[in-house]
Amino acid sequence: MVRRGVIAAGMAVLTLAPALQPAPAGATSAAAPAPRAPKPGWAAQIDRLVRGLPVGVSVRDEAQDLYRHAAARRRTPASNEKLLLSMALLDVLGPEAVLLTQAAAAALPASGIVAGDLWIVGSGDPDVRASTMRLLAQRISNTGVTRVEGSVLGSTGYFKRDWFAPGWKRDFPRNQVALPSALTFEGNQAGGVHVRDPELRAARALRRELRELGVSVAGAAGSGKAPPGLIPVAEIASDPLAELLDTMNRYSSNFWAEVLGKRLGVETTGQPGSIAKGASAIRGFAAGRGIDVRARDGSGLSYSNRVSPRGLTRLLDTAEDATWGEALREALPEPGQGTLSGRLRHVRVHAKTGTLTSISALSGYVWLRRTSSWASFAILARMSKDQAVRLEDRIVRILWRRAA
């Protein structure tokens, strides 16, 4: 980037003559401003594309701004909020972290008998399924358990039961995001409908699987807040965090984002996790790097979220130097994957899309062929999705082919 220097004005010379003296030939009263270097052709091309449009664009490479257009104005990021969530989670937990789902009891089994209730305690794995309960039952059986004298119960603790955030539309819990619980089960939906009792459904599944293995369970399945001091009997670990983020970002899962956002809140503030705590942790992560964001959730469903394109690229640029930087880049979709299906064919790019009504975003990393380096970019627009996609893709292709 051409950096403009500061040129001091020449000082006037005072004389005792009653009138101003003529300046010597060739002298000037102040140094002429340095001519502004012309923009490179690729930047001028982007200028023509964005002129007069409600869009902010920022591109950075090696801690320098390569291109800016309305880049300081904070805009609604839509699902680019998941980028901020991903960075904060990787910074706190690391890419190899796993989230546990445990079967636990008040005391270890004696002679193969669990004397009381057997609890299922989740910690924010968004991908617990019937197959998870089958494997957990097998591991319980492998410890020698043959009987549970109480019930199998799904814990409703660790997270709050909150299911709304400032800036959400009223129908979002019904249509866009299932209940973000610590113990999830089958996406917390059944028959395409979001459910309020995933913990009970998980308990029913585990009880059924235990009985299939010959482990008798005296009581019915149920749910409730688990008591403190439980001792793990068996556990299942999630995929590593980097893989969870890959799935979340590839398909832009609002449910996964809010579950993982609540887990982020636990890590930074303590139990119980909540949407507000997760959003606060995102704000704290950005503020620690000098970037002011307004975060209301982790999914980007909130129309009240705000981040500037330049702030987003600065965070992405900083992430490149973090130990988890490569994991972040690899956790973003490539052309042909998930929300980038059908877009940017043959372009080397990892990027997160974002969509709300009349709002579109695309941010991530694009490979600059001229310099053989990754550049961070952010495009945040307020326009129809079709118009925005055409604009976003043209800008990214220009950067890939011609920038720097």
Q: Residue 34: its pLDDT value, please? A: 61
Report whether pLDDT(20) > 60.
Answer: no
CA proximity to 289, closest of 327, 316, 257: 316
Contact 363, 86 (CB under 8 A): no
Q: With the CA atoms of 282, 69, 313 and 258 taken in that order, what torsion angle do they form, in degrees rounded to the nearest 10?
A: 30
Q: Which amino acid is present at 62?
A: E
> What is the bridge-based pairing of β-strands 64-69 and 55-61?
antiparallel
Pairwise CA distance, residues 158 & 272, whole Å: 5
Between helices 241-251 and 254-269, what is the axis angle to 10°?
Answer: 140
Model pLDDT for residues 143-178, shown as the tens digit of each residue:
999 999 999 999 999 999 999 999 999 999 999 999
DSSP for residue 352? E
Report whether pLDDT(2) > 60.
Answer: no
Contact 158, 123 (CB under 8 A): yes
Question: How far does Cα 132 stand from its chain's mean position?
Answer: 25
Pairwise CA distance, residues 330 & 350, whole Å: 7
| Domains of the chain from N-terminus onward | 41-96+241-402 (3.40.710.10), 100-237 (3.50.80.20)
Peptide bond into 166 cis (omega under 30): no
Model pLDDT for residues 117-134, shown as the tens digit of each residue:
999 999 999 999 999 999
Percent of the chain with pLDDT over 90: 89
CA proximity to 309, closest of 364, 250, 350, 252: 364
Q: What is the largest CA-CA distance in the chain?
A: 114
Report whether pLDDT(359) > 50.
Answer: yes
Between helices 198-212 and 130-142, what is the axis angle to 10°?
Answer: 50
Task: Give 33's pLDDT tier (boundaries 50, 70, 90).
Answer: low
Report whether pLDDT(271) > 60.
Answer: yes
Model pLDDT for residues 47-93, shown as the tens digit of each residue:
999 999 999 999 999 889 999 999 999 999 999 999 999 999 999 99
Cross-strand pairs, 377: 59, 364
Cross-strand pairs, 395: none
CA proximity to 117, closest of 273, 258, 222: 222
Count the alpha carbons within 13 Å of 344 in the hemisphere toward its beta carbon: 32
CA proximity to 100, closest of 199, 183, 186: 183
Count the alpha carbons within 13 Å of 237 in the hemisphere toward its beta carbon: 7
Mean confidence (pLDDT) of the chain? 92
Lowest mean pLDDT among 12-21, 221-230, 263-272, 330-339: 12-21
Contact 306, 76 (CB under 8 A): yes
